[in-house]
Every structure is written in C-alpha cells, then in structure tokens.
Amino acid sequence: MSKKTHSFQAEVAQLLHLVTHSLYSNKEIFLRELISNASDACDKLRFEALDRPELYEDAPNLEVRVAFDKKARTLTITDNGIGLAQQEAIDHLGTIAKSGTREFMSRLTGDQKADAQLIGQFGVGFYSGFIVADRITVESRRAGLPPAEGVRWTSTGAGDFEVETLTREQRGTSVILHLREDAEEFLNGWKLKQVIGKYSDHISLPILMEKEEWKEGEDDKGGEMVPTGEWEAVNKASALWTRPRKDITDEQYVEFYKSISHDFEPPLAWSHNRVEGSTEYTQLLYIPAKAPYDLFNRDHKGGVKLYVKRVFIMDDADALLPSYLRFVKGVIDSADLPLNVSRELLQESRDVKAIREGSTKRVLSMLEDLAKKAAPPADGGDAEVTDVVDKKEEQEEGAAADEAGKYARFYAEFGAVLKEGLGEDFANRDRIAKLLRFASTASDSANVSFADYKARMKEGQEAIYYITADTLAAARNSPQLEVFRKKGIEVLLMTDRVDEWALNYLTEFDGTPLQSVAKGAVDLGKLQDEEEKKAAEEAAESFKPVLEKLKEALKDKAEDVRVTTRLVDSPACLVVQDHGMSMQLARMLKQAGQKAPEVKPVLEVNAGHPLVKKLESDTAHFDDLANILFDQALLAEGGLPDDPAAYVRRVNALLA
C-alpha cells in the first residue's frame, strides 16, 4: 500500500487551530456534525442510484452506525453511503470546498464567540471532530469502485495528513476518532444515545448502536456494560418534516435547522405545512438569523433541499424559491415530481411553478408575522410603575421584546436582498414594499416603513420623498434636504446599493407617488406658499444673465443650470432629470465593470448665497468660481471631480 503525506490548505490549518480552541462551546455538537455528514453521504448514494442501481451493491438498506471501543479509546461513525475515492478524500478533507475561503479567514476577529458564529456559515463540520480527538482516521470506498481501491486518510490536525490505499469490502465511510483524555464521556453508550436523541433524532436513516448488557465483575468486584453484538436503532428514523407538527418540539425544529444549515444560531422563524391540491408537497422553511458570508457572491448557491417522496434529490434547489429569497433554508418534499427530476425539468415544470409560488407566499407570510410583532402596541400607553414586579410578567415582557426584535435582526441581515424582489416578483411587489424599512430624517434607526411615513405626512403633502446615497451620513447631510428640513418634511434615507435599481420598479405606495429629492425640479405642491413661488420666479428672472454665463462655462459638465428653492444654506447642488439615471447608480455600475451612460446632471444654484452672488461681481474669476461650484456640489453628492488637481488649483488661487 502506498502512503503519501500532504499538507493542508493554509486556510484549513488556521481553521483547525480555531476549531480546537474556540469553535464549539458545547463539545457534543461534533457528533451531530459527523452524523449529518454521514446522512448526506447516504442521500447522495440514493440519488446517484436512481440511474445506477448497481451502486447499492449487496447492501440496499442505508444506515449510519455509531460504535465505541473503550480500550482503544476510539469512537467510530460509519455510513454505507456514496463513499470517497482517493482523490476525493484529498480534495474534500484537505481543503475547504467553498468559494471565498480567503475572504472568510480574513474576517476572523479573534473574538471566540463572534468567530464561532461566522464559522457556522461555512459547513466545516468534519473538522469539528478535532474538538474531542487528537487523531482522526477516515477509511472509505466509493460506491462502484472495487474493494482494492479503498482509501485511508489520517491526520492529527497539525498541518498535514497521510493518504494510503487499502482494501475495503464495504462501500461508504468510517470516521474513526481517537479520543483525547478529556473526552472520555463519549466512550459511554448512554451518553452517546442521549446526544443522538437530542441532536440527530430527525435523521431519516436508522442510526444504529450496539445493544449493551450489564456484566458482573469477577469476585463481585463491580461490573460494566458490555456489547451484545446486536444492533438497534437509537433514533426515530423518520424524516422530521413527515411527522405531524403536534409531535415535534421547538427544540427539535431548531436542531433540524442547525443540522441542514450548519448554522450555530437558532432560526428567527419557521413554517411547517403540508400542501394539498393539484400539486401536493410538504414544506419546512426557515428564516436564518445570520446572513451567509457569500450572500452577494455571484457563485453563491441558494435554495432549499429537494426531496421527492422522501428520496433526496438535490441541495440548493434554487428553482423552488425566487432569487431574492435565497437566504431561506429548509426542505421541500414533493409527491408529484418524478424521481429522476433534473435541473432542466425544474426550470419548466408546472408543478415546480406551483411549489415556487406557494413557498414564496409562505415565506412572505412568515416575514409579515415577524413585522407585526415588531410593531409598537396599538394603545401606546405607558405601563403602570409598581415597586414589586411580578416575575412571570417580567419574563413574558422579555420574551415579547425578543420577538419584537426579530424583524429588526432579519432586516439588518437580509433587507437589501429582499428589495431585489421589487424588480423580480411583480405578483408580490406590494407585499414586499410593505416589508421594507428605512432610516429617515425623523428617525435615527432604519425602522421606518412606507406605511409609517404615510401616517406622518404633513397636510397637503402629495408624495413620499426619499434620497439615495452611499452612506447614511452622506444622505442625512445632503444639501438637497435643506428645504425639506426647513419645512419639517420627512425624507426617507436610502443607502443600500440596490435601492436605486429597486425603486425603478416601485413608483408609488398605496396610491401615493414616490419622489426622489435628487431628481427633477423641487415641487412641494401645496406645501410651498404663493410668496415663496413668486420670490423664486423673480430670483430666476433677475439671475438670468448669470445663468446663461454659467451654462456656457459648464457646458461640458452640466446639462442645465437653474435657480432652485430647495437650497437654504448651501450654494449649489446637483440633480438629474425626472426619469434619468442617478449619478450614484452610474458610479456603481462603473465600479462593477458594467457599461453605464454618461450622466450630465443639472446644477441648481441658491441665488441668495454669497458665493453665488459673487458671480455677478467677480467677472475675472467667473469660470473658476463656476467650476468650483460644480465640483463642490459633486463632492457633496458623493462623487469626485474629473480633475481633482484642477479643482485644488482653483480653490488655492481664490484663497490666495
């Protein structure tokens, strides 16, 4: 047998150190991870055997076995699933088979709790074995390969691993943990059954352990539990989603989520339903509490697990939910799809379309329920203050506060993705719009809904006003807000990169138009009195000669120059025409390497500002002043001058 030593991928070596020192606060979770991997291997065999039934060889019954040897100090988890070929063992056990690994490692902070939550998003369960083991041996043979092509993988987790060939009659994989002294508790049958019952009871395959019986010691010197050679299932061995909801505890739902998602935090919400009708299926869908690291990565695979008649078909079945709900985890088990369903069929099937529509509505209903719990009480009254607080009431209030905070947690993680639905899901656009939240000039936190805004609109206000910017500070301090601040008109502050694109598909909310304060001429309608309108018209007329000169001086930069009433303290600002592309969106497209049209903005000037008035008197420096006005407005808007050096020279010349 040939034996070769390989080095771990650098990121894996770092990860192993972190795993053994800080990843799991609860050691026993390693068993959940390894049993979950074993179950996945059996699912994959079942799927491949749909076309190649010979892969079952002489063992058609899939199972997972857990055994321990006190004398050898080993714990072994064995499955008769798909198994590994030698190169697969090298590739899968020596590297983190995920894109963006380096980015992941760069985000580790050294904070054990924070890092543990981050690692939970990466599906690195196999390495959790090193929490309890100082050496791990993996023996495996891929289904369909001859016994002589088995593989043995061994590592102490210290930087390298050994691989050699071996003869293995049984297909599948055995993970042999050589336990450390501080992990002796896992050499106990009762303890192992307890852990399996807690974390892996939902696994749809039988998890078998050897029965034990009590054997008295010699000369009545105590005794011990010894194996009988007979194996028994220690889990229910029925898929959790197939059981009645009344028979499943919240803890079981949470543990099932952690098992399929490799997340370490419980989900925010879940929904378990059996749908009957023209298309029959069962859905168990979860809303995670944390976004995966690659949520916005183009290579990110989102989607739920697809089963057909309880037979696993594929992970990440992205055709069953729209892209903007790609963060949802869970299982969909269809009674109508063919067992040999392919990805191509998933794109076209009428049944898949029905499942997709039903699951989308179910997820939106979950989010609506979370949002309702986050709303303030209808009466808004103050609670009576007493010296003695009933402990039960205090606990109930704490639980209610936790429920109320769930939607804020969800939105902070996934709000930007949800907004994509405005452009992707016309049928549910109104429901999605009601779920959106923003910061505003009247609120420091991003918790203002369109409905909240409408309820606070001033009498005579005819539009919902908003502004988009790269950061919250840039939005809040934009000169375009000055007249709105002066009149006490609330403006929504939008800072997600997707906002500008998404709002192209949402022009109104509940009959009230949405109006960007950075597009078109400012029109406050009934909120602007006649005297203001008259003063603005007079200013525009008297300033006309200067406007013409400004247009000529800035003809290569500005589409137009006009007097505005939106400015109070600032000399100038930039806007675009009503239906034009914003400058922020054009910048983002260019940064993403996409083609974007050249946007020539409109320069609006405050005729009453001293710097603007100077244009009438300082004709010698007119062109310099005009360009400085434009470039300063561009800086305030979040852009950069085309020629920063020229801008600096002009400012320095005027200062001198």
pLDDT digit string, tens, across residues 54-95: 999 999 999 999 999 999 999 999 999 999 999 998 888 866
User: Distance from CA of residue 611 to its chain's centroid?
Assistant: 48
- Quick one: pLDDT band at residue 396, thresholds 50, 70, 90? low
Q: What average pLDDT does the segment 610-615 reach?
A: 86
Same domain, 204 and 258: no
Q: Which of 196, 216, 236 is the endpoint of a domain?
A: 236
- Model confidence at 21, pLDDT cuts 50, 70, 90, reads low
CB 206 within 8 A of CB 234: no
Residue 401 lies in a domain: no
Instruction: Evaluate if residue 103 carries a pLDDT over 60.
Output: no
Task: Mark whether 137 and 58 lie in a shared domain.
Answer: yes
Confidence of residue 110 (pLDDT cuts 50, 70, 90): low
Rounded Cα gap, residues 235 and 193, in angstroms: 8
CATH number, domain containing residue 361: 3.30.230.80
- Residues 468 and 574 placed together within one structural domain of the fold: yes
In terms of domains, do 31 and 161 share one? yes
CA distance readout (Å), 315 to 44, 125, 303, 468: 10, 17, 7, 37
Is 384 contained in some domain?
Answer: no
- How confident is the model at residue 100, as a pLDDT? 40
Q: Per-residue confidence at 219, pLDDT binned at 50, 70, 90? A: low
User: What residues are paired with 177 via a beta bridge?
Assistant: 75, 136
The CA–CA distances, whole Å, from 35 to 132, 201, 594 equal 15, 11, 45
- 632: domain CATH number is 3.40.50.11260
pLDDT of residue 97: 39
Q: Is residue 425 part of a domain?
A: no
Residues 482 and 630 in one domain: yes
Quickly list DSSP for 192-207. Answer: HHHHHHHHSTT-SS-E
Report the Cα 252 to chain-centroid distance in Å.
23
Residue whose tokens read 């709900």: 325
**pLDDT tens digit sequence for 185-202:** 999 999 999 999 888 887
Where is mean pLDDT largest: 288-292, 326-330, 494-498, 616-620? 326-330
- Residues 161, 253, single domain; the answer is no
Residue 71 resides in a domain: yes
Place 378 in a pLDDT band, splitting at 50, 70 and 90. very low
Phi, psi (rounded to 5 degrees) for 134: -95, -5
Beta-carbon contacts of 427 under 8 Å, excluding residues fewer than 6 positions away, are 357
Please, what is the angle between helix 189-199 and helix 29-48, to 10°?
Answer: 60
Which pTM value belongs to this model?
0.72
Angle at 411 between CA 408 and CA 412, to 5 degrees: 85
Rounded distance between C-alpha atoms, residue 345 and residue 343, angstroms: 5
**Mean pLDDT across the stretch 206-223?**
81
Q: What percent of the chain has pLDDT over 70?
A: 82
Q: Tell me: do 66 and 165 sit in the same domain.
A: yes
Mean confidence (pLDDT) of the chain: 83
pLDDT digits (tens, 9 = 90+) for 36-57: 889 989 988 988 898 899 999 9
Which of 135 and 615 is assigned the larger pLDDT? 135
Look at residue 618 and tell me if it is in a domain: yes
What does the pLDDT read at residue 298? 59
Q: Which domain holds residue 555?
A: 437-655
The larger pLDDT score, comparing residue 586 to residue 418, is at: 418
Q: What is the mean pLDDT of residues 511-526?
A: 80
Specify the length of the chain in residues.
656
Residues 229 and 245 in one domain: no
Tell me, what amino acid is at 451? A
Q: 545-601, pLDDT tens digit by residue?
A: 888 889 898 888 888 898 888 888 889 888 887 776 777 777 777 766 667 667 788
Confidence of residue 355 (pLDDT cuts 50, 70, 90): very high
Per-residue pLDDT at 310: 78
Amino acid residing at 570: S
Tokens matching residue 434: 């009601």
Contact 143/59 with Cβ under 8 angstroms? no
Q: Say if residues 310 and 335 touch (Cβ distance below 8 Å).
A: no
Looking at the fold, whether 198 and 271 belong to one and the same domain comes out as no
Identify which of 520, 519, 525 has the alpha carbon closest to the alpha carbon of residue 489.
525
Per-residue DSSP letters for 546-562?
A: HHHHHHHHTTTT-SEEE
pLDDT for the residue 403: 75
Domain boundary among 170, 205, 236: 236
**When comparing pLDDT for 179 and 30, which is higher?**
179
Q: What are the residues whose beta carbons fall under 8 Å from the beta carbon of 2, sequence distance 6 or more?
A: 164, 165
- Token readout for 301 is 């695979």
Distance CA(382)–CA(180), nearest Å, equals 57
- pLDDT: which is higher, 132 or 314: 132
Tokens of 203: 């696994």
- Residue 152: in which H helix or E strand, if any? strand 150-155
CB hemisphere CA count around 577 (13 angstroms): 7
95 lies in the same domain as 199: yes
- Structural domain ending residue among the three candidates 236, 252, 281: 236
Which domain CATH number covers 221?
3.30.565.10
Lowest mean pLDDT, pick from 132-141, 162-171, 445-454, 632-641: 632-641
Q: What is the tally of helices (H) and strands (E) in the chain?
A: 22, 23
Is the domain of 270 the same as that of 158?
no
Q: For residue 322, what pLDDT is reported?
A: 92
Total domains, the chain: 3
Give Cα 51 distance to the centre of its chain.
Answer: 35
Q: Which residue has the higher pLDDT, 402 or 392?
A: 402
**Cα–Cα distances in angstroms (integers) from residue 498 to residues 412, 419, 634, 640, in the given order:** 14, 7, 21, 21
What is the average pLDDT across 474-497?
A: 90
Same domain, 334 and 215: no
Q: Given the structure tokens 């491949």, which residue do they identify?
A: 48
- Among 352-361, 478-487, 520-529, the minimum mean pLDDT is found in 520-529
In a domain, 396, yes or no: no
Of 40-54, 105-119, 209-223, 628-642, least confident by mean pLDDT is 105-119
Beta bridge partners of 3: 164
Per the domain annotation, does 412 fall within a domain? no
Residue-level pLDDT at 122: 45
DSSP reduced 3-state for 283:
strand
Q: What is the mean pLDDT of residues 132-155?
A: 94
Query: Tokens 């070929």 appear where?
Result: 85
Flag whether 260 is in a domain: yes
